[in-house]
Amino acid sequence: MGYERLTRYIIRRLLWMIPVVLGVTFIVMLLLELTPGDPARQLLGHFATEEQIEQAREEMGLNRPLITRYFDYLYGVTKGDLGVSYFTKGNVWDDIMVRFPYTLLIVTISMFIAICTGIPIGVYAATHQYTWKDNASIVASLFCVSMPNFWFALILVNIFAIKLGWVPSLGVETWKGWILPSVALSIGYSATLARQTRSSMLEQIRQDYVTTARAKGQTERVVIYKHALKNALIPIITIVGSVFGASLGGAVIAETIFAIPGLGSYTLSALTSRDYPVVQGSVLYFAVMYSVILLLVDIVYSMVDPRIRSQFVGTKKRSKKEKKQRSEVLSQ
Amino acid sequence: MKSKKRSRLGETWHRLKKNKAAVIGLVVVIIVLLVAIFAPLLAPYPYDQQDLSNVYAKPSREHLLGTDKFGRDNLSRLIWGSRNSLIMGLGCVALGTLFGITVGSIAGYFGGRVDIVIMRIMDVFSCVPMLLMCVVIAAILGPSIQNAILAIAISTTPSCARLIRANILTVRDKEFVEAAKAIDAKSPHIILRHILPNAIAPTIVATTMNIGNSIISGATLSFIGLGAQPPLAEWGAMLSEGRNYMRQHMELVLYPGICIMITVLAFNLLGDGLRDALDPRLKN
Amino acid sequence: MESNVLLEVKDLKVEYHTDETVVHAVNGVSLTLREGETLGLVGETGAGKTTIARTILGILPKPQGHVTQGEIIFEGRNLLELSEKEMRKIRGDKIAMIFQDPMTALNPIERVGDQITEAIRLHNKISHAEAVLRSMDMLEMVGIPKERYPEFPHQFSGGMKQRVVIAMALACNPKLLLADEPTTALDVTIQAQVLALMRDLTKRLGTSVILITHDLGVVASTCQSVAVAYAGEIVEYGTVYHIFNNPLHPYTKGLFDSLPDLDVSKKRLKPIRGMMPDPTNLPEGCTFCERCDYAMEICARKKPAVYEPEQGHTVRCFLAERRVTDGAFAGSAASEKVL
């Protein structure tokens, strides 16, 4: 039907993830290879003898050339097998599956907070340009963007956990434990969204079609919220996507500060202990997740903007829904 | 060409001066830079001088901001810390911009296969969230300031390269480049003398904003133990140390954090001001 | 046959306040428009023509725009005294405006037909279906097949977009249409079509039009009366015959002289020397004095008042006051060519 081009685009993007997988795994493997620190030695500890270390290296397959290990790993990936942790001896994939939901949850909650605070503030600032409210919000967002979010986290912990005792300072056993990490993570992204929304709104408000809408006699409220805002939000969709990706990275820090058993803290501890398979698996997983999010964002964007939609959804061959719409309109 | 540049520079400066926030930013940036450069002269004590008989001292005349858990003077550590934090911020940006300009220029100027291959490699790098990439590289290379700088520089290269490449692409096909080619000028010459100067303006803005982000990234890496190592004084590392004793001695967390925030805010204000001054059409 | 006066602008003054300066955009403009009449408002960029139109409709940019003096009497009411709510009822319904650039005048993410329907439903209490039908009629009226109702602006060419804009403006059958350089952004061949369409529709519907343009050819083919604007003032005003046969103001004469003449071979074009005065710093006497080849000593000192040499033809010029009595200023070759 009319969705052929869209499907082809999606498939092309998904296929594009393959080189990404290849590239990311290779780079990580290469980096791990090039650096000092022997996993076998680390695993066995100070008092291991050279023979024991050598034996462990054989078992872990560390003596084989890089290329062999690389292709072995890729083969495993296609089967869904990401190897076994050097330390816990557990299946990396299983570990990731247990841990990722925590990361996903904290990232989602903070994105939600960022969207619900950032975008309205941006709209408010844009509609009150030239007043102190606009200037105040610009300054406030600059403040928030300039603040390291781990510092903000510590301050929040000091006030709300230590002094007031409303929420725990560590861990997520109860639902209260999720509040501080999400808020801390969201502050920078909320400010970024506010700034971008403001600038996008200001650009739309200047446009001729907004003046045309006013000239038609439309109320200011409808002009701003129905005409300008809808147009302004379209480029914001892309920004939400990249902010989502950035927050995946920020989650690493948040999880470490608040002792959340997510994929981020897992990766960090694996890095320090040179647990190669875990590092490879997590980085790969993050990269794939990020690419998927970007793909979803792009799809939403092309569906929402009719100028782009018409490139993907055929104009000659109309979809069932469009045909129905047309016949309704024309039969009157 | 020269006189045109002078008036353009002069005009930019004039516009910048009018923006009060940007001027404040510039002043603060200069102050912080001076503090960092003259740290040995300004700091009353060396940053690693311990005095275990005088830990967690309250502010007094000998120690204007008190001491930390090893009896080291807080004020001195903050002053020395400005040096390390700025080194990280500026170093990352300098290195990252250098990588980015090189990669982006090659891709943008030569186009074709070279362009495609290079940009695909950049795409692979940018598929991993930036902070994660920093952490991975820094952790793998080993914890130190230099490695942290390298790690952050590498992870900011893709976006920098993309920016440069885009600017170059818009400039490359303009007539004056064709004219240069017509008189048989060589490629590097063309890139350096014709293309880069025109692509510079947006780069300056992006770079200034990046300094702020790099300082935060550097502090973040130090905070989790991957950047500046003890006993070096660096604001992020100081935050990490202060964290353990937050309950009783919150000021050890507040001081370095405020320093980071003021510095980054100043750079951001300056960057915003530069952007408005360089192209007033962009201002709303 | 004297038709009724629809719009009267009396001594209007409008300023824009920016951070640094005050821009005097309109400085004492008076106009009269009858029912069914098309008035051409001619002048260079910056003469204040768009400001006049926006002030009539009440859509000056806030907070910079300020009306400091004057009245705009429309259908017996002073528009400048009406509340925002009352003005909204008039906008789109009694007075409509179309803008210069059709590429950006339509909301890119809304269907073209729906944009017309919105205009209709704002001022008529009818059902959505009924409004859609009327929109489709409007589309047909401007020469667009009604099947194209659900399409988006980017699917139309520039000329067709402008037709949609015209359909939207005329959808509620307004008494007055303000057209701000509606054809400037279009190709020359499309210009003629769109102008013909406007002429045709406004005649059919009995709409009065203020047509803002810098093109004297457009004025000649479409307008019954002409107002020449310069530096925020109307320096000459009259019927199209008055202005083309007997231009009195040196600026008007200069406009005609600067038109290239196909029949006579000339080496150089004859522009009007100099530039319009800085609207933040207007001169004391006549605003055209510096560029005027016939400037006299009094011109720099005093502002010429409005002088009416023939019935319905007014001009602000000391020279004209003198010359008309001498009779030595009639017509120029260029203005005859245009007609």
Identify the pLDDT of residue C1: 45
Element (H, E) at C12: strand C5-17
Give percent of chain B above pLDDT 90. 8
In whole angstroms, what is the distance from residue C52 CA to residue B132 CA? 58
Mean pLDDT of C219-227: 90
Strands (E), A33-152: none
Range of weakest confidence among A289-303, A308-322, C48-62, C213-227? A308-322
pLDDT at C336: 43
Q: Which amino acid is at A45?
A: G
- Residue B255: left if φ>0, alpha if ψ -120 to 50, beta else—which one? alpha
ipTM score above 0.85: no
Spatial neighbors of B178 by CB under 8 A, at least 6 apart, are none
Domain with CATH 1.10.3720.10 in chain A: 96-316
CB contact under 8 A, B246 and A245: no
pLDDT at A169: 79
Separation of alpha carbons B193 and B195, rounded Å: 6
Q: Do A306 and C168 touch (CB under 8 A)?
A: no
Q: Does C59 touch chain A (CB under 8 A)?
A: yes
Contact of B257 with chain A, judged by CB distance below 8 Å, is answered with yes
Pick the range with the lowest mean pLDDT from A282-286, B61-65, B252-256. Answer: B61-65
Query: What pLDDT is stored for residue B195 in this prediction?
Result: 60
- Give the pLDDT of residue C324: 56
Report which DSSP code applies to B70.
Answer: T
Identify whether C279 is preceded by a cis peptide bond (ω within 30 of 0): no
- Please answer yes or no on whether A209 and C149 come within 8 Å at the CB atom: no
> Would an 8 Å CB–CB cutoff place A307 in contact with chain C?
yes
What 8-state DSSP symbol labels residue C276? P
Query: How many Å apart are CA A85 and CA B106, to the nearest integer?
Result: 41
Interatomic CA distance for residues A202 and A206, integer angstroms: 6
Segments of chain A with pLDDT less than 70: 1-2, 35-39, 41-43, 48, 60-61, 313-332
pLDDT band for B41, please (50, 70, 90 cuts).
Answer: confident
Q: B234 touching A, CB under 8 A?
A: no
Q: Which residues of C touch A214 (CB under 8 A)?
A: 59, 91
B73-282: what CATH class? mainly alpha
Give the pLDDT band (50/70/90) at residue B25.
Answer: confident
DSSP string, B77-134: HHHHHHHHHHHHHHHHHHHHHHHHHHHHHHHHHH-HHHHHHHHHHHHHHHTS-HHHHH
User: What would the two tokens of residue A228 be?
Assistant: 């300008």
Tell me the pLDDT band of C275, cut-offs 50, 70 and 90: confident
**Cβ separation of A332 and C96 shorter than 8 Å?**
no
Least confident among A145-154, B92-101, C290-299: C290-299
H/E stretch holding A307 reads helix A306-312
pLDDT digits (tens, 9 = 90+) for A23-57: 888 888 887 777 666 667 666 777 767 777 777 77
Question: Between B149 and C331, where is the model more confident?
Answer: B149
**Chain A CB within 8 Å of residue B243 CB:** yes
What integer pLDDT is reported at residue B284 of this predicted model?
Answer: 38
pLDDT at C227: 92
A162 vs B236, B247, B284: nearest CB = B247
In this prediction, residue B227 carries a pLDDT of 82
pLDDT band at B4 (very low <50, low <70, confident <90, very high): very low
Contacts of B264 in chain A (CB under 8 A): 146-148
Cβ–Cβ contact C92 with A under 8 A = yes
Give the whole-angstrom CA distance, residue B104 versus residue B107: 5
| Beta-carbon pairs below 8 A across chains A and C | 84
Looking up tokens 């450069």, which residue turns up?
B37
Residue C226 has pLDDT above 90, yes or no: yes
For residue A287, what pLDDT is reported?
87
Strand order in the sheet with C176-180: C95-98, C176-180, C208-213, C38-42, C225-230, C233-239, C313-315, C307-310
Q: A316 — contact with chain C (CB < 8 Å)?
A: no
pLDDT band at B232 (very low <50, low <70, confident <90, very high): confident
For A290, the closest of B128, B247, B254 (CB atoms) is B128
What are C111's two structure tokens? 């269907």
Q: DSSP per residue over A16-35, as a string?
A: HHHHHHHHHHHHHHHHHHHS
- Calculate the CA C177 to chain-centre distance: 10
Q: How far apart are CA A182 and CA A114, in angstroms?
A: 10
How high is the pLDDT of residue C180? Answer: 92
Q: Is the pLDDT of residue B63 over 80?
A: no
H or E element: which one contains A216?
Answer: none
In this structure, of A92-96, B55-59, B95-99, B230-234, the range with the lowest mean pLDDT score is B55-59
Query: CB distance C168–A216 less than 8 Å?
Result: yes
- Per the DSSP assignment, residues forming a β-bridge with B73 are B67
CATH number for the domain formed by residue range(s) A96-316 = 1.10.3720.10
Sorted by sequence, the CB contacts under 8 Å of residue A49 that are 6+ apart come out as none
Chain pair A-B, CB pairs under 8 angstroms: 129
Please tell me the predicted confidence (pLDDT) of residue A3: 74
Check pLDDT > 90 for residue C95: yes
Q: Which residues of C touch A208 (CB under 8 A)?
A: 99, 101, 104-105
% of chain C at pLDDT higher than 70: 93
Give me the pLDDT at residue B185, please.
60
- The whole-model pTM stands at 0.82
- Lowest-pLDDT choice from A99-103, B69-73, C96-100, C119-123: B69-73
Give the model's pLDDT for residue C46: 79
From the list C314, C329, C338, C99, the residue with the least C-alpha distance to C219 is C338
- Closest alpha carbon within chain A to B139: A271
Residues 6 or more apart in contact with residue A256 via CB below 8 angstroms:
A264, A265, A268, B224
**Tens digits of residue pLDDT in B163-216:** 888 877 776 666 556 666 666 666 556 656 666 666 666 777 778 888 988 999
Alpha carbon B254 to its chain centroid, in Å, reads 22
Q: Tell me the domain boundaries of chain B.
A: 73-282
Which tens digit of pLDDT belongs to each residue from C181-211? 988 888 888 888 888 998 899 888 889 999 9
User: Which residues from chain A sit within 8 angstroms of residue C113, using beta carbons?
Assistant: 329
Q: What average pLDDT score do residues B43-53 get?
A: 76
Q: Give the pLDDT mean for C51-76.
A: 89
- Using CB atoms within 10 A of its CB, is residue B31 exposed (0-12), middle (13-18) or buried (19+)? middle
Inter-residue contact B41 to B83 (CB < 8 Å): no
Copy the structure tokens of residue B87. 């080194």
Query: Where is mean pLDDT largest: B116-120, B202-206, C272-276?
Result: B116-120
CA atoms within 13 A on the CB side of B283: 13
Average pLDDT, chain C: 85
Sequence letter at residue C167: A
Q: How many CB atoms lie within 10 A of CB C60?
A: 17
Which whole-number Å values give the CA distances from A161 to B224, C29, C301, in the listed order? 21, 69, 78
What CA–CA distances, in Å, run from A99 to A261, A265, A297?
Answer: 6, 9, 24
Q: Which long-range CB contacts under 8 A does A96-99 form with residues at least 24 apart?
A: A96/A263, A96/A266, A96/A281, A96/A282, A96/A285, A99/A261, A99/A262, A99/A263, A99/A266
pLDDT band at C331 (very low <50, low <70, confident <90, very high): very low
Helix (H) or strand (E) run with residue B235 in it: helix B235-243
C106/A209 touch (CB, cutoff 8 Å), yes or no: yes
Residues 104-143 of B with CB under 8 A from A: 120-121, 123-125, 127-137, 139-142
Q: What pLDDT, on the 0 to 100 scale, is given for residue C328? A: 47
